[in-house]
Structure 1
Amino acid sequence: MKVLLTIVFLAYLAQMTLNPIIAPLAREVGLAEWQIGVTISTAAIMVVLTSQFWGRRSQSWGRRTVLITALSIATIATAAFAFVSQLGMTAVLGGSALFTLFLLLRGIGFGSAIAAIPPTAQAYIADVTVDEAARVKGMAGVGAVQGIAMVAGAVVGGALAGFGLLTPLVVVPILLGVGLVLVLFVPRREPRHELIADPARIRPADTRVWPFLLAGFGLLTSLGFIQVICGFIIQDRLALDAETTGLATGGVLLAAGIGMVVAQSIIVPRSGWTPPTLLRVGAVIALLGFLILIPDLGLWSIVAGILLIGLGMGIGMPGYTAGPTLLMSREEQGGLAGLIGATNGLTFVVAPTASTALYGLWPPLPVIVGAVVLGLVAVFVFAHSRFRRLPDVAAVDADRLARAAEGTGAGQATLGD
């Protein structure tokens, strides 16, 4: 578990290290705001297309094989992305050729590779935890290392940007390479269970799943609306140059990371809240952050708003990821993890492009849209009947075994349908 979480941390650290410099990098190489938005949306499309594949393969191939494959692709893609960015910054390459390479490397290559990490970790945790409290804590652990990666990525990306925008780009493939080495310490055999040759497929319309998917989609869509334009907001509201923007954006994203870490390493494990309660509390807190961020009140409002958004997302996300696993049998966990990963990616298909386009029309507009989305999520998780008391993991396992004994086949439980 510790090795797996460390690998998750390094993968997300690599991704988060790019965030503080992506906006100034786009302007430095001559790309428009919408072009960098399309690049990030392309990565999200790849996450949508490949997450279910990776989630099911993590149960049939094993975690080790999946991680080696994905991290190898990510390392090569980000190394090539750094080289291409250097060509763009020195005016050797530009225009549509540069944009196409950004799409291929940062979008398709890195996006398809990073899609493997969350489903692999989530399927593993669902596999080895035996009750609701342990599963929520385990999912929060994945979220916590992601939050720590956000903090560290903000610091690393912002600090390295002070040495030039190219420096963070060179460090990213090194981080992924370290993760690739750590995969060697992941056991070849699964610790508690045999591999599953043909993991069950999960439909998005499954009544056990879709309310959680919809709530998570709303949470992450609102986050996507603010994540990409954060650098633009800081640069425009504070009138900063490119390198100072990278440093300042790193500092602001640090606040979001602190909020996520506090939420998922302290509040979630100690509160004992159920997944529905986590979703309700998280949505309301994040909504407050968006409302603070709408008016231009200076640096303090940016930091306070982003901090509350990070705190709210940190509380709500474990509820979204852990909730449906309590309704699934073991054979369904890989498919579910892939479906959650695909949903996460789907939010960033539309949000980055839409937010950058809306920002060009009127800077506060994407923040307002994000607040509206979060308000709808808050109403939904308070009102829908699915967000009531969930059954224990033991109850799902007992139901599955009973069905198997009756000859209906293991792994076909439909508890809650």
Structure 2
Amino acid sequence: MVEQPASAEQSASAGTTGSATGSAAARPQVPLLLSLVFLVYLAQMTLSPIIAPLAREAGLREWQIGATVSAAAVMVVLTSQFWGKRAQTHGTKPVLATALVLGATTMALFAWAAALGMRGVVTGAALVALFVMLRGVGFGLAISAVAPTAQTYIARVTDTEETRVRGMAGVGAVQGVAMIAGAIVGGVLASFGLLVPLIVIPALLALAALVTLVSLRPEPRHELIEHPARVRPTDSRVWPFLLAGFGMFTALGFFQIIIGFIVQDRLALDGRMTALTTGGVMLIAGIGMVVAQVVVVPRSGWSPATLLRVGSTISVIGFGLLAPNAGLTLLLIGTVFVGFGLGVATPGYTAGPTLLMRRDEQGGLAGLIGATNGLTFVIAPALSTALYGVWPLLPVVVSGVLMAIVAVFVFVHPRFRVLREAPARGD
């Protein structure tokens, strides 16, 4: 189909939610929503510093824990659009509450399975199956609701490019803060034993579910959308952003899943010191991301396209610094560059296409973004851990090459030069 230029009314409608009226819009609960997002990602990131030593303590190989993470990502790909549309038809509160209760239940069962594995009660294929079903399928289904629901809500209650970018940056910022806090919490709790963080994780998710049920207001019925529009990934307003985001988060996924193995093998550490040091590395990455999204993005006033260009370029430099095996200092510097760059680029990726979509398309778009992010973690964990077994530097090289391709793409593709010319819906 040939796209037609938008009318003034269409452009205005694409850049606004058009329905941010009434008491809920007058007093949007964005801070509360971001707090809930924080608790969910804090729970997820608390596991990250211990995942490598936990796998080895339980007798699992690198590719098996990679397959577990990939299984969670498959669920994100399969269900993100469902959750995004569900948030528009049923509202933010019931979607989040359902997802959080599911997440708390599955992670409590995962802690039990991990304890059995570490004690040698359950081993081999049975243990892998439990890990995949609980941390993979169950928790993946739960967490796939969080980002699309939050992004749909923010798209509904914001009506300018500046507020939309700030709101989407807020989601990224709390994820970065969660990375920092999770690195600290996971690393410190692991010093008391690898099972301790696993007990805390479902408690955090249960707390988030309780806060959701008690404090989050449901949307007025007139603001719900009975039949949200389907958004195709091939839509010309959308696919360039999805492709850029796919490249960015695949590069991140290649690095993120192997960071514990890099720390342990490059620095020759035992399990507990690996967890503590990995927590420190993740802390640095989180600081870079938070500084970018709390300080740089809101104050810069940059368009989504500029955010993508600047952020991807900085991340390329970071991956270059991670390549040499030159000790902890260079590893930390490279990590902070990667985190800072992605912190700058991500709000451009998530906010940019929302400015081109109608209100009834926002849920489908948020689901597409969530599915794209999930798809990267279907591919990256299993592939990066397999490549790490071939040559430990190979996943880092692949990450850097992918990020460089993204940087070139967002500089040259015309969509990022005409972003503010919101076109009519195209296929």
Query: TM-score higher than 0.5 here?
Result: yes
User: 1:189 corresponds to which letter in structure 2?
Assistant: E
Kindly indicate whether structure 1 or structure 2 has the higher relative contact order, using CA contacts under 8 Å at least 6 residues apart.
2
Q: 1:187 aligns with which of 183, 193, 217?
A: 217
In 1, the alpha carbon distance for the partners of 2:35 and 2:307 equals 25
| Counterpart check, 1:238 vs 2:267 | yes
Q: Which position in structure 1 is the counterpart of 2:371?
A: 342
Unpaired runs of 5+ residues, structure 1, are 400-412
Q: Which position in structure 2 is the counterpart of 1:81?
A: 110
| Counterpart check, 1:3 vs 2:32 | yes
Q: 2:230 aligns with which of 201, 206, 213?
A: 201
- 2:416 aligned counterpart, secondary structure: coil
What are the within-5 Å matches in structure 2 for residues 398-417 of structure 1?
Answer: 413-414=424-425
| Counterpart check, 1:49 vs 2:109 | no
- 2:237 aligned counterpart, secondary structure: coil
Q: Which position in structure 2 is the counterpart of 1:221?
A: 250
Q: Which position in structure 1 is the counterpart of 2:383?
A: 354
Q: Which position in structure 1 is the counterpart of 2:395?
A: 366
What's the offset of the Cα at 1:14? 0.4
Q: Which position in structure 2 is the counterpart of 1:402?
A: none
In 1, the alpha carbon distance for the partners of 2:92 and 2:390 equals 45
- 1:200 aligned counterpart, secondary structure: coil
- 1:189 aligned counterpart, secondary structure: coil
Q: CA offsets per residue over residues 76-123 of structure 1, 9 Å max, x none?
A: 000000001000111111110000000000000000100000000000
Q: Which position in structure 2 is the counterpart of 1:114?
A: 143
Q: 1:129 aligns with which of 140, 155, 158?
A: 158
What are the within-5 Å matches in structure 2 for residues 154-173 of structure 1?
Answer: 154-173=183-202
Q: 2:60 aligns with which of 31, 56, 60?
A: 31
Q: CA offsets per residue over residues 226-267 of structure 1, 9 Å max, x none?
A: 000000000000000001100100000000000000000000
What's the offset of the Cα at 1:190? 4.2
Q: Which position in structure 2 is the counterpart of 1:256?
A: 285
What's the offset of the Cα at 1:391? 2.6
What's the offset of the Cα at 1:388? 1.2
In 2, the alpha carbon distance for the partners of 1:57 and 1:268 equals 30
In 2, the alpha carbon distance for the partners of 1:25 and 1:305 equals 25
User: 1:259 corresponds to which letter in structure 2?
Assistant: G
Q: CA offsets per residue over residues 245-295 of structure 1, 9 Å max, x none?
A: 001000000000000000000000000000010001110111111000001
In 2, the alpha carbon distance for the partners of 1:168 and 1:246 equals 11
Q: Which position in structure 2 is the counterpart of 1:92?
A: 121
| Counterpart check, 1:153 vs 2:188 | no
In 2, the alpha carbon distance for the partners of 1:181 and 1:363 equals 43
What's the offset of the Cα at 1:301? 1.1
| Counterpart check, 1:382 vs 2:387 | no
With the length of structure 1 as denominator, give the TM-score of the two structures: 0.94
In 1, the alpha carbon distance for the partners of 2:401 and 2:392 equals 16
In 2, the alpha carbon distance for the partners of 1:283 and 1:221 equals 13
Q: Which position in structure 1 is the counterpart of 2:12?
A: none
Unpaired runs of 5+ residues, structure 2, are 1-29
| Counterpart check, 1:285 vs 2:302 | no
In 1, the alpha carbon distance for the partners of 2:225 and 2:399 equals 40
Q: CA offsets per residue over residues 383-414 of structure 1, 9 Å max, x none?
A: 0000014237xxx6xx8xxxxxxxxxxxxx41
In 2, the alpha carbon distance for the partners of 1:53 and 1:226 equals 29
In 1, the alpha carbon distance for the partners of 2:31 and 2:347 equals 18
Q: Which position in structure 2 is the counterpart of 1:321?
A: 350
User: 2:217 corresponds to which letter in structure 1?
Assistant: P
- The list of structure 1 runs, each at least 4 consecutive aligned residues, that deviate by more than 3 angstroms after superposition, is none
